[in-house]
């Protein structure tokens, strides 16, 4: 059972990283971002909408939110590079966290 949860968490992290790199390369006005944003409902009405919002945040949300925040605060190119630095830091932190059990 733990292997299933580890697989789902690893898949979510992989999707977050892929989404982040696609946002960095393509920007926010692409068909990919429009498709991803269709998964999120501002006002969920039922259990399905709540499930899809959870799916959105688990697989895409963090990358999209960080990208929007950095580009709105710092502008186009500078915001993208700050976004890239954020994700490099997140990736290094993930590598450290994954290797902690192997250190001891």
Q: What is the mean pLDDT of each run of 10 residues along the chain (104 residues)?
A: 80 83 79 78 88 84 84 87 88 85 78
- At 103 the pLDDT is 76
> Quick check: 67 and 28 in contact, CB under 8 A?
yes
- At 1 the pLDDT is 74
- At 6 the pLDDT is 79
d(CA 52, CA 82): 29
Encode the chain in three state secondary structure.
CHHHHHHHHHHHHHHHHHHHHHHHHHCCCCHHHHHHHCCCCCCCCCHHHHHHHHHHHHHHHHHHHHHHHHHHHHCHHHHHHHHHHHHHHHHHHHHHHHHHHHHC
- At 39 the pLDDT is 78
pTM value is: 0.71
């Amino acid at each position: 059972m733990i292997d299933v949860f580890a697989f789902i968490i690893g898949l979510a992290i992989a999707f977050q990283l892929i989404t982040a790199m696609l946002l960095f390369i393509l920007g926010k006005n692409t068909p990919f971002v429009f498709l991803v944003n269709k998964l999120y409902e501002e006002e969920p009405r039922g259990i399905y909408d709540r499930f899809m919002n959870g799916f959105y945040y688990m697989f895409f949300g963090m990358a999209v939110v960080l990208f929007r925040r950095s580009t709105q605060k710092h502008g186009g190119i500078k915001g993208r590079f700050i976004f890239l630095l954020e994700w490099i830091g997140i990736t290094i932190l993930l590598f450290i966290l994954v290797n902690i059990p192997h250190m001891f």
